[in-house]
Amino acid sequence: MNQKQYCTQQLQSLAQEVSKQAPFADASETLPLSESDQRFIDTLQFLADEQTTHDEEFFQKGQWLIGQCVANQAHVTALIPRDLFWYFGGDCLHFMPDEEISQFQQLDEACHASDNSDYQEERARILGLH
């Protein structure tokens, strides 16, 4: 599994978990989401779609989503896998400590050095999850 596939799975899991959280779980026709919450959930679903191309728009939307979580959805921020902060990059890196950034840099280097490496295996090795 490569990094793109891994992060897509993480986004899908995040979308499932977020849908169980307020205000998203409480939304209905009589109690619709606010415009900003609807944009948030629509963006998350867009990012989690396996058919979505990981292009510049994808990464811009991902950075926006992470920023919205940190600023407005603190209860959701704790659900975001740290890999997604790294994957989206840009402003998301401001929310990562230097040590964590260094670990993800090592992970990227290891994966690029070996085209046959499995992202999850390299991740577990470098992050000390074995």
pLDDT beyond 70 at 130: no
Cα–Cα dist 33/16, whole Å: 17
8 Å CB contact between 79 and 48: no
pTM listed for this prediction: 0.90
Give pLDDT, residue 10.
97
Cα–Cα dist 46/123, whole Å: 25
Q: Domain-by-domain residue ranges, the chain?
A: 3-81
Mean pLDDT score across all residues of the chain: 92
Give pLDDT, residue 128.
85
User: Of the candidates 63, 67, 127, which has an alpha carbon nearest to the alpha carbon of residue 100?
Assistant: 127
Q: How confident is the model over 23-73, as pLDDT tens digits?
A: 999 888 788 999 999 999 999 999 999 999 999 999 999 999 999 999 998
